[in-house]
Structure 1
């Protein structure tokens, strides 16, 4: 994958950046809703701040998701600006799984905005939107393989868990900065208790997905996809290590109002955020410049190299493989 990135053009790098930011903004928007509904220890100010974050993140995610369409069209036209505005290429992208994914995501993000409206049942509308935004990740790429329904459910469960985790960082960091230690500690403790179930779901869903995709074979670790997966695994191990530190040492220190406990917790949360952003960036690069070995094997060797490159790099045009 490093060789592919080294030779990548500007459009590829911009695509990776936009995809990374779209991932992050979508997860924060959906996660903010999940956290707002799930964590009872949020203060009134914390809830109001979380609602604002959900709205800002949803709007940013919508813009970034829409940008992915002309960028993909440009990629298909060899990285030219003409491709980004060519009606035929834009139509092809809209008709692809990427277009379906973006459409569903935009609907979900719009429903998330209902959380700030004075409507009865607005929270459940927003929850539906958060789940749709998470499910949009399962409408393209590897989740289109077989068994498609199971893969889609596993990918969605994985994304929901990651969204909840990422969505909790800002309110916990804010609480550590502005709330009294007992209030902040109660929130962090509640998240830590529920995060145990989230971690279990993430690990289980990820493991089953890898087996179904054929990426659990040790031989696959020698491929660019496998090497990128090892990078993601190392980063996730770092996240789990920091989470364990938060639960075992930093949360008890905050509960006892130890000097500097809040600052240490905020630094740990910031480090977790950086590691998760690195995971998202690795995923964006991985899905842009390479693919699963099993998917590469399905691309007919007699096809032109340009067709193979599109099938491998995008995961958006399964009929080419």
Structure 2
């Protein structure tokens, strides 16, 4: 299967992460310093980058992205390069835990909450990242190697199951800290809770689409390939379903982005 597009996609992603992290560092410094002119001063940036967990996470994220960029430019495609890129992606995803609510919890439960947030972020990155790659493969299908495409879809089933399990378990831990057991009955009375409900609805919808892909559409494609029939109808159904799952995932990310700007019920 031709994966020539992957190199340009990885280069673009590394640049976006590196530049976005630097821009976020400047923006957060401006918030703390009170003005953009103060934020661009070396002393202000240095304090933010070395004196706060938030700033150090942003610097680490940018550094990993730049190292990943050098790797993709210097190394030939192969197991080593793909392994390094996966590791870099997981580190970038994990760094976002220090820019969210998980890093704000103090006391004996702080490490547990932060750890759950790291697992939650990595699991989401695994699911959505693999889903985005499958979407590109299906939309750019120009190779006759449909068996390789079927293997990719089949392989995603195991990864998706792992990601969903980790998301559910870590999500329960995060909800315990962010909402609190005493406030679960009031979850729909504030904007954060309403967005959480929307997030859960989107998550369930993604699960339904993923289940359809795994247990119905992908086996149908495998049967057609084994029988030597026309794969176009099966691929068309898979393409529509995977694209729909990706769009729902994008909507879920938008909801999460807004939730990250709000104070959770436990802080009220």
Same fold (TM over 0.5): yes
Identify if the C-alpha distance between structure 1 residues 244 and 49 changes in structure 2 by more than 3 Å, giving closer, same or farther: same
CA distance in structure 1 between the partners assigned to 2:41 and 2:254 by the alignment? 28
Gaps of 5+ in 1: 1-42, 297-321
Q: How many residues get paired?
A: 250
Identify if the C-alpha distance between structure 1 residues 183 and 167 changes in structure 2 by more than 3 Å, giving closer, same or farther: same
Q: Partner of 2:196 in structure 1?
A: 229
Say if 2:83 is the partner of 1:111. Answer: no
Say if 2:268 is the partner of 1:285. Answer: no
Q: Identify which of 105, 109, 116 aligns with 1:154.
A: 116
CA RMSD in angstroms, aligned pairs only: 2.8
Identify if the C-alpha distance between structure 1 residues 161 and 50 changes in structure 2 by more than 3 Å, giving closer, same or farther: farther
Identify if the C-alpha distance between structure 1 residues 271 and 56 changes in structure 2 by more than 3 Å, giving closer, same or farther: same
Q: Classify the secondary structure of the residue corresponding to 1:178.
A: coil
Gaps of 5+ in 2: 225-229
CA distance in structure 2 between the partners assigned to 1:293 and 1:90 by the alignment? 32
CA distance in structure 1 between the partners assigned to 2:33 and 2:54 by the alignment? 16
Q: Partner of 2:142 in structure 1?
A: 178
Say if 2:266 is the partner of 1:294. Answer: yes
What is the TM-score with the length of structure 1 in the denominator?
Answer: 0.68
What is the TM-score with the length of structure 2 in the denominator?
Answer: 0.79
RCO (CA 8 Å, sep 6+): is it higher in 1 or 2? 1
Deviation at 1:103, TM superposition (A): 1.0
Identify if the C-alpha distance between structure 1 residues 76 and 220 changes in structure 2 by more than 3 Å, giving closer, same or farther: farther
Equivalent positions of 1:36-47 (< 5 A) are 43=1, 45-46=2-3
Identify if the C-alpha distance between structure 1 residues 149 and 124 changes in structure 2 by more than 3 Å, giving closer, same or farther: farther
Q: Does the 8 Å contact 1:74/1:84 carry over to 2?
A: yes
